[in-house]
Structure 1
C-alpha cells in the first residue's frame, strides 16, 4: 500500500473517532437536560397538589361555616342576604329595600316580605344603637328551579290567602316560598322571652325582694316571719288546682312489671309511701317489688311463698313491713328492711278458714280481717295478736277505716252500713245502703267526708258521711256505669277521683270526678286493652295509677293533672 493511501486511511479513522466523541458529549448533555426537566415537573406537581389540598381544605372550612350559619343562624344580628344574592345573580333590589330571598335559614332572621319591613327596620335600628355590626352571608344552597316553577295559588282554598290581588293565579316558586314564610311570621309572632337580653318586668322587683327574703330565711324564718323550725306547716306550698270534669289527661307508660310479668292473675298492687316502690302479688305465689320510674321499672326483689297463693298484700303506713294473706288460716308478715318473712296464725280462739281479705288502719296500728259469720277480727300490727272482734248481723264482706283509724265502716249481706268506734268497740250508727241487697265494696276518702258503697248489682252509691250519720239515707249520687258486681272502690289522695271496677267484665273500670259526681268520658281508653281488672291503686301524690289484670300484667298510667307521683 502506498504512503498516500495510508495517510488517507488514518485521517478517516481520526475523523470517525472525533465524531463518536462528539456524539457521546451530546448524549450526555441531552441526558442532563431531561433529568432537570423531570425534577422540575415533579416539583411543579408537588406544588400543584399542595395548592389543591390547601384550596380544598379552605373550601371545606368555608362550606362548614356556611352550613353552621344555615343550621344555627346568627346569635347577634339579623342576616341580610339581599346584597350578596344580588351580586351573585346580577339582580337589583327594589327601591324600598324589599327583596325576596331564597334563603333557607331561620324564619326569624330572614327578610321575606315587605309586610315585615317595619319589624325588620325596628330590629335593625336596635342593633345599630347597640353598636353591633350587621353580618351578611350567602345562602348555602339555591334551588334554580324555583325561578322556573309556577304555583297555582288560586286552585286550593288554603293557598288563596297568599294572593295579593284578587285575580292573581300563578306565582313563581321563589315568590311562593317567600309568601309562605311571611304568612308563618304573621301567624307565629316572635316572643319576647326568646330575645337575647330579655328581662321580665317582675325581675326588678324580685331582685329587690330577694335581699329581704335572704335576711329573713337566714334567721330561720319563713316568708310570713314565722320560725319554720318551730312550725308544723308544710314548707312547700302545694298546688290547689282543682281537677276539671269531662276529659282526663293521661298517658300510658311501660307496664309496672314489664321486667317480670306474673304467670297468674294479679290480685294486689300497692305503692309504697315514697311512690317509687311498687308491690305486686298474684296467684302464682310470688310477691314482687319494682322501682317505678316510668321507663324501665326495674325489678328489685321477688319473694316466693310456697304454701300460699296470694290474695292480698299491703304495706304498713311506715313502709317497713308488708302483710300478705291468702285463702288460708294464717297470714304472713314481711320485714322489708331485713327481707324476713314470718308466718302468723291461726289466730288464738278463732277457726276462720280464710284470712284473705283485710284492711290496715291509716296509723298502722290495727289490721282488720274479715272473718266468718259477720265477725271482723282486729289484730295488732305490732304483736300480730288478736286484740278484739266486731260482730255484724249479716255476713261481712268489706271494711274501710275512717278518722285516722279511730273508726271503721263495714258492710255485707244485709245491705246495711255499720259505723264502729274502735276505742269502745261498739257500733254507733247503722244505716241502710239505698237500693242495696248485698254490699260488695267500701271506700272512704282521705279526709273521711265522703264514702262510696258498691253492690252486687253494679250500683255505686256516693254518700256525704256527715249527712248519712245525721239520718239522710239518700246518696249524693248513684253511679250505674257498671253492670256487674263491684269488686273494688278506691279514692285518690285528694279525693277528687274515685275508681270503680268489676273483675267479671272486660275493661270494666270507671273513673269518677268526685266534685261533679260525673264519669270521665275518655276512660277507659278505647285503644288500650285493660282486660279483666282485679285490683288498682293510686300513688301517694296522685300522679300515677296502676291496674292489675287477670293476664298477669300491671298497667301503669300517668295522670297529668298531678305533678308528683
Structure 2
C-alpha cells in the first residue's frame, strides 16, 4: 500500500509539471535561430532582477491562484468585542478587507425609476394639463453633452426616454429654484370657492362643478388677496410705536444709506412711473412697454421684493400709473396718450376702461397726466386744450363722473400740478413760472404768485405736513429748465376767508397771506440740466431732485436746513439716466415696530434700484 500511494503522488506531480510546461511554453522562447551573446553572471543577475525570469513568473502565478482559492472559502463572522480576536488582521489579505461596489442592474434601475415616479405622483400636486405622446418614443443621450451629465444617476448611464428626461429636468429646476415661501403659504390650504348668483350674492360650495374652471384662477389670485388682507396691520406696525406715530430725525449733510438688492435689473423700456402704496407694502412700476409690474416690498432674504403679477395693455404706452390711496379700495389707475384710461381692481381682477369725460371730450383728448387726491375722493386730469392757458378736469374717483374744472391763465400751458394735503384744493404751475392756488370748495383761484427767477418751470412737489400751512403742506419746491430748484416755506401762508357779503350779492373772494413774489427758503443749483423729478419723503425731512437729461444727475436735500448731502451719491452710485423716483416706508420684522425709509430710482434701461435711508 505505501508503494502504490507513492506512485500515485509521483504521477500527479508529473501531470502538473507537464501541464505547467505546456501552459508556459511560450515564455521559454527556445528558438535556435537566435544567437545569444556571451554574458557574464553579474549581467544575468541584473537582468533577472529587472525583468524577471520564467521560474519566478510561474511561482507568482501559483501563489495568486492559491490565494484566490482560499479566499472563496472564507466567511465573514461578526464577533463580540469581549471575545479575543486572536492575532488581529495583520495576516489577512487586502482582497478580504474590501469589496467592489458595482452599478445597479437594468432591472434594479427600472424598479428605482418606478419608485421615484410613484413618489412624484403622490407629492406632485395637480396632473399636467397636456401630455405629449412623442415623449415616450424619443431617446436622449446624457453622456454625449457635458450639460446633461449632471442628470445621470450612475456614471455609466447614457440613454433615457423623453418622459424620464422631462422629469429629471423638472426636478433639477426645482432644486436650483425652490418655490418662494409666500407661494407655499398661499397654496398650503385649498380656498373655498364662491359662485355669484343672479341676485349678486355669493354662496360657498366646495364641490361645485361650475367652480372647477375657476379653481386655477382663484389659486393665482390668492397670494395677492391674502397680502391685501393682512398688509394693513403690517405697515401700520412699521409706522407707529406704542400706538403713536414714530418720529425719525435725519441729520444734515451726512446720511446713513445702504443699497438694497435690485428690484428689477433691466426691462424692455424705461421705468417712467414708480409709486409705493401709502399703507400697503406694494410697489408699482410701468413704462412705454405697455406693462405694469406689481412687487411686494419685503426686504427680507433670500428672495426680497418678489414680483406678484403684471398687467399688459396692448398698444397703450403707459405714462401715468397710480394707486388709489385707500387700503380698503385697492385700485390702480393707468393712463396713456389716449382718449381713454383704465382702472384695475386688485381684489376682483377686473380691468375697466373709461372711454371719455362726458361733456368735455374736446377739452380732454388725452389721459396721459392725472393725479389722485390724498383722501382718494377726486382725480385731476390735465386737459389737452391750451386756449387761455390750461385746464384741469376733476372727476369723482368712485363714480368717475366729471365734478369741476380749474382753468388757469399761463403762457405755454400747465407744467405741473399737485394736490393739497387736505384734498381741498390744488396748486397749478404754469410754464411761465406763475403758481395758482385753486380751492375745491369755492371753485375759484384763491391766490396767484410768481416763482423767483421763473425760467421755464418744469415740475413741482409738496411735502412736510403742517396743519397750520395753506393746504396742509409745509414746503413746496419748484424745478426749472435751467436746473435751479427753489424751495419755499409755506408755514406763514394762510387762507383768510371773509364771511361778509358784498352789497351786490356776489360771493366775496377769499384772501391769503401769500405774497405775489415770495422769497425762496433756499436756491439749489447743484444740477445744470432741466429738473424732471422732485419728491419729498413721507416724513418731510428728505427731498430728492433729479434730471433725466444727464447720467447720475440726482441729489438728496435735508429739510428744514436745505443742505445737500455731501457723502451721497458717490461717483460709483449706479443711477444711469433717472426716469422716475419714489419714497416709501417698508416694514422690517426683526426691527419690531420700526421700519425703513426707502428711496427707489428707475432709469432708462428699465432697472429699479433701491436704497435704505436710516436716521
Name the TM-score class by shorter chain: 0.5 to 0.7
Aligned positions of 1:126-525 closer than 5 A: 235-258=242-265, 261-294=266-299, 295=301, 296=303, 297-319=305-327, 320-348=330-358, 349-351=360-362, 352-372=364-384, 373=386, 374-394=390-410, 395-447=413-465, 448-467=473-492, 469-471=513-515, 473-525=518-570
SS in 2 for 1:450: strand
Question: What 5-or-longer segments of structure 2 have no aligned partner?
Answer: 1-81, 90-239, 466-472, 494-512, 587-595
Name the stretch that deviates more: 539-548 or 366-375. 539-548
Contact 1:393 1:414 in 2 (8 A): no
Q: 1:48 to 1:515 in 2, by over 3 A?
A: farther
C-alpha distance after superposition, 1:325-355 (max 9, x if no partner): 1111211111111111111132222323322
Contact 1:513 1:520 in 2 (8 A): yes
C-alpha distance after superposition, 1:105-146 (max 9, x if no partner): xxxxxxxxxxxxxxxxxxxxxxxxxxxxxxxxxxxxxxxxxx
Contact 1:312 1:326 in 2 (8 A): yes
Which TM-score applies when normalising by structure 1?
0.57
- C-alpha distance in structure 2 between counterparts of 1:287 and 1:559, whole Å: 26
Name the stretch that deviates more: 319-328 or 345-354. 345-354
- C-alpha distance in structure 1 between counterparts of 2:415 and 2:402, whole Å: 19
- C-alpha distance in structure 1 between counterparts of 2:279 and 2:377, whole Å: 20
C-alpha distance after superposition, 1:191-246 (max 9, x if no partner): xxxxxxxxxxxxxxxxxxxxxxxxxxxxxxxxxxxxxxxxxx98434443421011
- C-alpha distance in structure 1 between counterparts of 2:345 and 2:317, whole Å: 19
Contact 2:461 2:535 in 1 (8 A): yes
SS in 2 for 1:445: strand
- C-alpha distance in structure 1 between counterparts of 2:609 and 2:287, whole Å: 14
Contact 1:440 1:486 in 2 (8 A): yes
Contact 1:257 1:299 in 2 (8 A): no
Aligned positions of 1:81-120 closer than 5 A: none
Contact 2:429 2:460 in 1 (8 A): yes
Runs of 4+ in structure 1 deviating by more than 6 angstroms, as ranges, are: none
- C-alpha distance in structure 2 between counterparts of 1:465 and 1:547, whole Å: 28
- C-alpha distance in structure 2 between counterparts of 1:241 and 1:556, whole Å: 20
Contact 2:279 2:325 in 1 (8 A): no
1 or 2 for the larger relative contact order (CA 8 Å, sep ≥6)?
2
Contact 2:447 2:514 in 1 (8 A): no
Structure 2 residue aligned with 1:526 = 571
C-alpha distance after superposition, 1:261-286 (max 9, x if no partner): 42001011111234521111111100
- C-alpha distance in structure 1 between counterparts of 2:396 and 2:267, whole Å: 31
Contact 1:275 1:539 in 2 (8 A): no
- C-alpha distance in structure 2 between counterparts of 1:46 and 1:284, whole Å: 83
Which TM-score applies when normalising by structure 2?
0.52
Contact 1:438 1:455 in 2 (8 A): yes
C-alpha distance after superposition, 1:460-515 (max 9, x if no partner): 11111144543161110011111111111111111000111111111111110012
Contact 2:334 2:341 in 1 (8 A): yes
Give, in angstroms, the shift of residue 560 of structure 1. 2.1
C-alpha distance after superposition, 1:27-63 (max 9, x if no partner): xxxxxxxxxxxxxxx97544878xxxxxxxxxxxxxx
- C-alpha distance in structure 2 between counterparts of 1:419 and 1:326, whole Å: 27
Contact 1:371 1:396 in 2 (8 A): no
- C-alpha distance in structure 2 between counterparts of 1:411 and 1:46, whole Å: 103
Contact 1:314 1:324 in 2 (8 A): yes
**How large is the RMSD of aligned CA atoms in angstroms?**
2.1
